[in-house]
Structure 1
Amino acid sequence: MKNLIVLIKKEYVQMLRDFKVIWLPIVFIFLGAAQPVLTHYLPAILKALGGSQGITIDPSMTAQKGGEVLASTLGSQFDQLGLMILAISMMGIIQTDKANGMLAFILTRPVTVPSYIGGKMVSNYLMAAFSVTIGYFTSYLYVNYLFTAVPFSQMITGLIFYLVWILFIVSFTTMTSAIFHSQGIIALISIVFLIGCRIIVGLNPIVDQLNPASMSKHAMETLMTGLVDSNAVGNLLLTFVWILLTLFITNYWISNKKFSHE
């Protein structure tokens, strides 16, 4: 436990040096505010700029319920640009340590591979979860002000479901960072796979049950309907199985490569 705490502190020191603790939350605050503001003011902006000729604007856009707009923040902002930013921000989570020899050095100390992975996962997940949460609450405040109010319990339930999806994003990116050597390849594979998972949501009920990205869909449905899908619990458990599998592969890969003996 002591080694884990030391490794977590090391990660946060690096985040401070990279200003990640500043720019990542700011990015999600911007993304969270963008959806409700654009949804509410876009028709007026187009009309003021005289650019609405030939453009048909759905009059129901500004009449959406708060839950629908908050759900669209998750689907249109966080699951697209937000997902790419998270993957890029974590693409070097293990690869950087491999490249500069820090991984080999750390594992020559009395540090186990699970402790090393745990330190990476805990620190980066807390950073990602904090950034997503603060962006989500920003969107929630704007939605309540510009549209109808979203019940607090409904908002929290949606957030919990979505943070499970974020945990899978972090664990999958960690796995790819351990396996591949190029940060560009790591980011590309992570983004393509994760967005691919999100795109296929809704195509088939069986696939949805196995798809970690369905947690995002459950979050959105909870916000829009106020009800929790009966399949959400099963999907939640299977998502944790996928997370454990990615962590097992990461642990096996690092242990099998024997970085401590390089």
Structure 2
Amino acid sequence: MNSFFILFRKEWRENVRNFKILWIPLVFILFGISEPLTYYYLPQILNAVGNMPSDMAFQLPEYKPEQIIMSTIGQYQLIGLLIVAFGFAGIIARERKNGTAIMLYVRPISYFGYVFSKAAIMSILIIGSACIGLLVNVYYTYILYGAVDGVAFIGFLGTYSIWLLFAISVVICASAAFSTGVASVISLIVLIVVQLVDSLLGTYWTISPWKLPMYAGQILSGNLDKTPFFWSLSVTLVLVVLLLMGAVYLAKRNVAKAKI
């Protein structure tokens, strides 16, 4: 446990030095603010720049607060996952390549603490930033469109956080197994390409980690299909544990590949 906290402090200092602690939350907050403002002021923007006759008004349908929040999730599903894949694909692989891992491996540290310290810092940065961005989004949505149910929003936030934890676990396991470039590609395929396939063909199955964002939206709107949701949640949590334990095994197995 002591080695975990030592490694966690190392990861924290590193992310402070490369400003991830600053720019990642700002990206999520920016998208959290921009979605409700864009939808609310879009008619005025189009009327101002669209060269439309002065007597013609551009009308958009009435949006519910839940729709605005889910639109923000749509942005997070692309931009947020790109940040996870490209920003952290080298979290283990890069240390193996530049020789930092050797200095760690020769010390009496546990591989469990090594991997889980990285999972902890990624969770704080990614899940924390997403939660802050969504809280800001709910604030502006409340001002412009109305309130959402508080209990439903907490359930929505928890479900989406578990999906992000799954994404984090995928990236860490890929980074433990492969080089940074390969880990980036694999992470993108697993998180974005498979998600796209699931959205196109997912009517044939209801239990999948990639369906958690959809179930989060159902929680928010109050029409959750509980049985497949709980199965999907259980499968996702099991996969998170397996991926992180796999990362521990792969980090230990690939010690010989570390640059000296």
Q: Which runs of 5+ in 2 are unaligned?
A: none
Q: State how far apart, in whole Å, the 2-side matches of 1:33 and 1:9 are.
A: 31
Q: Which runs of 5+ in 1 are unaligned?
A: none
Q: Residues 52, 15 of structure 1: CA spacing in aligned structure 2 closer, same or farther, 3 A cutoff?
A: farther
Amino acid at match of 1:189: I
Q: Residues 178, 52 of structure 1: CA spacing in aligned structure 2 closer, same or farther, 3 A cutoff?
A: farther
TM-score, reference length from structure 2: 0.90
Moved more, 244-253 or 93-102: 244-253
Moved more, 186-195 or 44-53: 44-53
Q: What residue number does 1:28 align with?
A: 28
Contact (CA 8 Å) 1:72, 1:220: kept in 2 or not?
no
Contact (CA 8 Å) 1:3, 1:111: kept in 2 or not?
yes
After TM superposition, give the deviation of residue 260 of structure 1 in Å. Answer: 9.4
After TM superposition, give the deviation of residue 52 of structure 1 in Å. Answer: 5.7
After TM superposition, give the deviation of residue 16 of structure 1 in Å. Answer: 0.5
Q: What residue number does 2:60 align with?
A: 59
1:226 paired to 2:222 = yes
* Superposition RMSD in Å: 2.1
Counting only pairs closer than 5 Å after superposition, residues 8-157 of structure 1 correspond to structure 2 as: 8-51=8-51, 59-60=60-61, 63-75=62-74, 77-157=75-155
Amino acid at match of 2:225: D
Q: State how far apart, in whole Å, the 1-side matches of 2:165 and 2:134 are.
A: 16
Where 2:198 maps in the other structure, the secondary structure is coil
Amino acid at match of 2:236: T
Deviations 1:109-130 (A, max 9, x none): 1111111101111111111111
Q: State how far apart, in whole Å, the 2-side matches of 1:44 and 1:140 are.
A: 22
Moved more, 117-126 or 240-249: 240-249
Deviations 1:147-167 (A, max 9, x none): 121111111111000000100
Amino acid at match of 1:215: L
Amino acid at match of 1:100: N
Deviations 1:163-215 (A, max 9, x none): 0010011110111111221x333222212320123223353356440x21211
Equivalent position to 1:160, from 158, 161, 176: 158
After TM superposition, give the deviation of residue 51 of structure 1 in Å. Answer: 4.7
Where 1:201 maps in the other structure, the secondary structure is helix
Q: State how far apart, in whole Å, the 2-side matches of 1:24 and 1:83 are.
A: 12
Q: What residue number does 1:238 align with?
A: 235
Q: State how far apart, in whole Å, the 2-side matches of 1:91 and 1:258 are.
A: 18
Contact (CA 8 Å) 1:7, 1:116: kept in 2 or not?
yes
Equivalent position to 1:217, from 214, 234, 245: 214
After TM superposition, give the deviation of residue 46 of structure 1 in Å. Answer: 1.0
Aligned residues: 254
Among the aligned pairs, what percent are the same residue?
29
Deviations 1:44-71 (A, max 9, x none): 1011112568xx96631xx111011111
1:6 paired to 2:14 = no
1:188 paired to 2:189 = no
Contact (CA 8 Å) 1:154, 1:222: kept in 2 or not?
yes
Moved more, 251-260 or 121-130: 251-260
After TM superposition, give the deviation of residue 10 of structure 1 in Å. Answer: 0.6
Q: State how far apart, in whole Å, the 1-side matches of 2:235 and 2:136 are.
A: 30
Amino acid at match of 2:105: L
TM-score, reference length from structure 1: 0.90
Contact (CA 8 Å) 1:201, 1:208: kept in 2 or not?
no
